[in-house]
Amino acid sequence: MKFPKLFEPIKVGHLELKNRIVFPPIATNLAHVSGEVSDVQIFHYHRIARGGAALVIVENSCIAYPEARHGATQPRIDSDEFVPGLARLARAVHDAGALVSIELTHPGLNASLKFNGRLRPVAPSAVRLRKDGIIPKELTENEIEEVVEKYAYAALRARRAGFDMVELQGAHGLLINQFLSPLTNRRKDRYGGSRENRLVFVREVVDRIRQLCGDGFPVTIRHAVDDMREGGIDLEEGKALARGLEEIGIDMIQADLGFCPREMRLEPMPYPQGWRSYLAGALKEVVSVPVAAVGTIREPEFAEQLLEREEADLVALGRTLLADPDWPLKAKAGEVRRIRRCIGCGECVKARHSEDRPIRCGVNPTVGEGEPFARLERTERPKRVLVVGGGPAGMEAARVAALRGHDVRLVEKGDRLGGTLNMASVPPGKDKIRWLVEYYEAELPSLGVEVVLGSEVTREAVEEVRPDVVILATGSAWPRPDIPGVDLPCVVHATDILRGTEVEGNDVVV
């Protein structure tokens, strides 16, 4: 096996994971507005599990409605009425061969007024950190005890629904992170001040979950190892808190960030692969429970090296498995070139966070679309298909047609596949766009697609091939603005520059 460490079993609590690959909680906006899970959402997690991940963690689920609502269509786990739907989801993941967990979330001061009925947010302390300037209400001790109960009964519902474990959201500036961080916890009672006191809230949550669910039900946490904010948790404090979390009885830790700028945890394309993995390495120095590295881990070789160097025990692959849910199966089979890597384009982030729309992916068009769209049944009547154009649309059309069992020829007049993607990958920080082209360069021949480069399709060529279907995927033309002088020799288009055209003269106007 090419990646032995990646596919080595590991225990979380008493449960054995078949490999070291975890799908972390990623908000999808696929639930119903009511908070019920949807069929599309169930298939989404089933499809991830079917690709070979050992543990699938369902997205941030609301434990207290409406005050803790934190998304356009966030799944709810605050009432028994949601257990049957969650049970269907858990069964779907189990049927695909993975263990399943669910993230329990309370946003605290970061609650969404847009979705929670404009209720005033609550927090450990009344600190001004929100961009809108709203100061949250400081929780009383009685209110804290009520929130602890909400966490615990949410965990009990998860267990009744058939989930194997639960995860606490303790990062990204949400409520548990707020209790742990001196940036947001200014309390003078038993919940604030010293490190030990700042751990009391999460200790009470874990203890109450154990009382209701038993010791055999693992509890994991997504931990803010570093807030990346002055006055917050720094790396050394994050390590010390992790030791405290282990003493409390946490069974696994995902090493993540806290009150950081969003682009540091939803990284755009220029960020280097696995840049956050140092957080897991830091925790490995001080705890003995399994630690998962999180963030922009795209390639099996990189993941294997992290595990071999003992800088992590598991790898959490979020957007990586959105781009290609079969990443684990392909890595295990040694078919690395056939993995469709996440390029960091941000389409998933834009859909969820900017547009409040269902999740989507810039390289995997089936994400968020449900089973009918993703099911590619082989035809009983294969056709001869001619695809004209080797850009992204043409390559994907050829791939899907071949998967359906058709005889496919793709003709591209240029000397390589990719179309405009080749130019788009030229600017600094955009080189990952080439990853998508490399995927198709490996995938199309493996599916039996005949790729013809350097050839222009003419009427005679079509008549010679005699296809049943012609798919025109020749792309679009760049418009030139109606500006006097735009056609002069001294004027060059951006595409000319990306193709390597030299600009003459010393004075350049952009």
Give the list of residues 6+ apart from residue 292 with CB closer than 8 angstroms, or none: 22, 24, 252, 253, 254, 255, 280, 312, 313, 314, 315, 316
Whether residue 2 is contained in a domain is answered as no
Residue type, 420: T
Nearest one of 274, 256, 200 to 60, comparing CA atoms: 256
Which pLDDT tens digit goes with each residue over 111-165?
999 889 899 999 999 999 999 999 999 999 999 999 999 999 999 999 999 999 9
Domain interval for residue 315? 10-342
Are the beta carbons of 386 and 470 closer than 8 angstroms? Answer: yes
> What is the rounded distance in angstroms from the CA atom of residue 421 to the CA atom of residue 435?
10
Pair 302, 382 in one domain: no
Which pLDDT tens digit goes with each residue over 292-314?
999 999 999 999 999 999 999 99
Using CA atoms, how far residue 442 sits from 286, 335, 339, 399, 405, in Å, is 42, 10, 9, 11, 18
Nearest 5°: the CA angle 480, 482, 483 is 105
Residue 404's CATH number: 3.40.50.720
> What is the rounded distance in angstroms from the CA atom of residue 296 to the CA atom of residue 278?
12
Q: What is the pLDDT of residue 1?
A: 84
Q: Please compute the mean of the pLDDT values over residues 63-79 and round it to a whole number.
A: 94
Pair 100, 215 in one domain: yes
Peptide bond into 218 cis (omega under 30): no
Residue 201's CATH number: 3.20.20.70
Are the beta carbons of 26 and 318 closer than 8 angstroms? Answer: yes
Name the one residue in this structure whose structure tokens are 């001869």. Answer: 384
Pair 84, 192 in one domain: yes
Name the one residue in this structure whose structure tokens are 């209400």. Answer: 137
Whether residue 363 is contained in a domain is answered as no
Mean pLDDT over each residue of the chain, to the nearest integer: 96
Least confident of 129-133, 297-301, 452-456, 484-488: 484-488
Q: Of 342, 365, 400, which residue is a domain's last?
A: 342
